[in-house]
Structure 1
Amino acid sequence: MCSKIILYALCVLYLEISLVSALDLTKTHISNPRVCIIGAGLAGLTSAKYLKEEGIKFVVLESTRYVGGTWRYDSRVGYDENGLPLHTSMYMHLRTNLPKPTMELRGFPLPDDIPSFPSWKIYYNYIKDYAKHFDLERDIKFLHNVILVSRVNDIWNVKYQNVLTGEEFEDEFDFVIVGTGHFSKPNMPNIPGEEKFSGSIIHSHDYRDPIRYKGRRVLVVGAGPSGMDIAIDVAYAAKTLVHSHHSKINFRTVFPKHYIRKPDVQEFNETGAIFKDGSYEDLDDVIYCTGFQYYYPFLDESCGLNLTPQSVTPLYKYMVNIYQPTMLVMGLVVRACLVVALDAQSRYATALIKGNFTLPPKEEMLEEWQKRADSIISRGRPISDIHFLAEKEDEYYAELTKESGIGRVPPVMFKIRAIDTEAKLENLYTYRNYAYTVIDNENFVRSLDNITENNSGNNL
């Protein structure tokens, strides 16, 4: 632990020394700014929408021919028709794991007739409708892949390539919004003996359909949101579902008889896995639900960020590049209503670019970030926790409003997420049966089987 803290401190010190002479733009308003948005997923589209409303010049660079990013289902895995990695992690039976009110984009209501937890297809159509409604596609350069972003002479130099012709371009921008997310680079655990195992091993990023696992003995590794969801999805088809994880979360779900809970995998052999309690299971297939890495290969050292597979640091308000504050990295928050958070971050970024407010001095931003980092390290937690909002989610939205003047995210959103989390702990098979209806900025009702509850849990 000591060596990790020292290494971490040296990384921060290196950034401070190497970038101490960088221009402090926290108090500089740029007239007629030009903005580059990287990616046409939710972060890119919401940013484009708000910049467009303010008359700010921007371009969106998108490597595919589609909007929607990871929300677009593709039956293929690996690479697309242009040789680029497929970013989507959608699978056939996926439904949102947060209820409809928390999935709605500001100013564009979700239809009343869609389910409380819509499928990927319904939600993806909603995203496409959003882009059309606000006429965003005309400002998107589809099939243009960003190769390099660098800081040159106090301006952002962005190099990108037409993926069909190979032609390369370079443009200069005053601001860069990185909206590529962090759900496309699989985090593989590299467990001993993998090369000996005769069955299949994939990451959840490449999981599409449980049919291929019909009648088979399947190991799912990991108990995050995708791990729990895919375990249940595969269990409908599998002969045996072995679930390996070390989560301390008290899931109270009653699983089927062919569901077997196991601790972490110690090693694989030709026919199965040995677990850390010494037990063994024969297996046909393995699905790693072990999360994703933070992966931004197009950002070079001049950007001033410390990029590791586990974190992106240092960021003010979870998104502003402290050493180069005209770069904003969107959607890195974890344990939050991500769609709500993205929309708020996009509005904050737009207010900053427009000059509606000024950031604190670099030293103050670093101090705020350092306090969060120190708190994480003092609790023996990994630095990846620096992106967690969790119980501080509503406080975060209040801070964004106080600083930038943007409209406040209603506290009811955090309250809905809290109740929904409890419903997941109670029963992973039934939590999506609840419908949530917002009454006002503070209150909602939840309904199930014709019983309506207020947000205190009392029947109405």
Structure 2
Amino acid sequence: MLEDSHDKFQQFISKYKKMSSKKRVCIIGAGMAGLTALKNSLEHDLEAVAYERHTAVGGTWIYMERKEGESEEDVHSSMYQGLHTNLPKEVMGFPDYDFDTNIEESFISSELVLEYLQNYAEHFELTPYIKLEHEIIRVQPRSVGWEVIVHDLKGDKYFVEFFDFVLVCNGHFTTPMYPNTEGLDTYQGKRLHSHLYRTPDIFKGHNVLVVGGGPSGIDIVHHIYQHAEHVYFSHHLESEPRMDFMPNVTQKPDILRFTEDGAIFKDESSAAFSFVIFCTGYKYTFPFLSVDCGLNLDVNWIYPLYKHCLNINRPTMAIIGLPHQICPAQLFDLQARFVLAFFSEHKALPSRADMLAEMEADMQERWANGVSKRMAHKMGVKQFDYYEDLAVTAGIAKLKPVISKMMKACSRRYIFELDTYRLKRYKVLDDENFVRID
């Protein structure tokens, strides 16, 4: 039975007034973002608890199959067999914990990334503060702090906790986004979102259409071409990826409309295929946030947020990990340190009006440059200015210059050197310099 929330709340307030020690922070998720949020919260002398609905830490880096009867959203991870990182491990780690130096290659398997995250949790002694198989059901603001309803999945019990701060770290690779393309309902072949792609063998003998020119689309084309009869790759990248080493791959523009057995493309060409894989991104979802948390969701634009992470309406809540086309672990750690500088009152927040004005100016520039609400938190080439801005604004340690230099050196190599770029190795010499070993 769920305990009476009013009584629990009054007990919490009474206890809160008597205690002048540590403030409490709820961290939702124990993937890459949640782990660094937890580690940094503890270093800021907060009483921190991380809730993870699955049986282990690691988030999207955990490989899991879809079980019978599960919906797409029930499968939290999008990890597929044989995935290797498209960034070198030298920029994939957190700033204060390196990958095992005995790993010679730079572009490593997902299993090694998962092992790294597990080692990170062990190294910083985070395990006692992580509650596995605990799902957050609702987060709701109170007059003081936040009320959080938690479901203990293993014991099938519900309970209420109260916190001063909330860090949302639930990731955004769980709820697939599909295009609204004419004729899709009439298409008779099989369809799959990259979220549920696991192995290439199911495409043996099939003509396959892969839709979407992001890293996952390009990588899946590379994964399946030796198994499929023929692969059509539909995208609108400004520069056409070099795929001449894959003789059974044909690049196509965007789809004009689907037909019963294939599609007609915007160049008026057509193709027949029996399988389509949508590599068309994900929806941001926060089903546990009550409507009075102060955040709005418009397609994939979450607002109002200060610097794409801090809830302007209720600045004791932040979302870690919204931006994409970034350096993940480094950004997650930086965002966590950024918001904790304000939570801990080491840095004073700007006024609500100033935060709103800055957000408005940022978004107006994005809209003017053709950025859609679907891509509202995209960084790409803007990421380096963003990292600098976060650090300077909060007065915290910046990213090491070598990280940005390596990121720029690796940029878009997966498009033009798909067959060879993962064979390269990188070595960090110091905080400023690196070398590439061919």
TM-score (norm 1): 0.86
Q: Give the share of equivalent positions with the same residue, in percent.
A: 39
Matches within 5 A, 1:51-130: 51-76=41-66, 85-114=74-103, 115-130=105-120
- Give the gaps of 5 or more residues in structure 2: 1-19
What amino acid sits opposite 1:61 in the alignment?
A: Y
Give a deviation string over 1:71-126, Cα, whole Å, max 9, x none: 00113367779x97111000001111111111112322101222201100111111
In structure 2, relative to structure 1, the CA distance for the partners of 1:193 and 1:344 (3 Å cut) is: same
In structure 2, relative to structure 1, the CA distance for the partners of 1:95 and 1:77 (3 Å cut) is: farther
In structure 2, relative to structure 1, the CA distance for the partners of 1:413 and 1:78 (3 Å cut) is: farther
In structure 2, relative to structure 1, the CA distance for the partners of 1:265 and 1:78 (3 Å cut) is: farther
In structure 2, relative to structure 1, the CA distance for the partners of 1:391 and 1:276 (3 Å cut) is: closer
1:343 paired to 2:333: yes
Cα displacement (A) at 1:383:
3.1
Aligned to 1:205: 195
Cα displacement (A) at 1:184:
0.9
Aligned to 1:270: 260
Cα displacement (A) at 1:251:
2.7
Q: Aligned equivalents of 2:198 and 2:73: distance in 1?
A: 19
Cα displacement (A) at 1:279:
2.3
SS class of match (1:381): coil
1:430 paired to 2:420: yes
Q: Aligned equivalents of 1:193 and 1:294: distance in 2?
A: 26
Q: Aligned equivalents of 1:236 and 1:267: distance in 2?
A: 27
1:227 paired to 2:217: yes
1:174 paired to 2:167: no
Aligned to 1:407: 397
Matches within 5 A, 1:340-419: 340-419=330-409
What amino acid sits opposite 2:76 in the alignment?
A: H
SS class of match (1:417): helix
What amino acid sits opposite 1:171 in the alignment?
A: E
SS class of match (1:344): helix
Q: Aligned equivalents of 1:427 and 1:393: distance in 2?
A: 23
Cα displacement (A) at 1:319:
0.6
TM-score (norm 2): 0.90
Give a deviation string over 1:13-64, Cα, whole Å, max 9, x none: xxxxxxxxxxxxxxxxx96311000001111111111222333101111111
8 Å Cα contact 1:411/1:441 also seen in 2: yes
In structure 2, relative to structure 1, the CA distance for the partners of 1:396 and 1:193 (3 Å cut) is: closer
8 Å Cα contact 2:29/2:170 also seen in 1: yes
Aligned to 1:259: 249
1:286 paired to 2:280: no
What amino acid sits opposite 1:397 in the alignment?
A: Y
What amino acid sits opposite 2:229 in the alignment?
A: K
What amino acid sits opposite 1:373 in the alignment?
A: M
Aligned to 1:27: none
1:164 paired to 2:164: no
Q: Aligned equivalents of 1:338 and 1:123: distance in 2?
A: 12
Q: Aligned equivalents of 1:262 and 1:132: distance in 2?
A: 47
1:218 paired to 2:177: no
What's the Cα RMSD here?
Answer: 2.1
8 Å Cα contact 1:235/1:241 also seen in 2: yes
8 Å Cα contact 2:300/2:376 also seen in 1: no
SS class of match (1:228): helix
Aligned to 1:420: 410
What amino acid sits opposite 1:52 in the alignment?
A: L
Q: Aligned equivalents of 1:384 and 1:272: distance in 2?
A: 26
1:334 paired to 2:327: no
8 Å Cα contact 1:254/1:427 also seen in 2: no
Aligned to 2:312: 322
Q: How many residues align?
A: 418
- Give the gaps of 5 or more residues in structure 1: 1-29, 449-460
Aligned to 1:300: 290
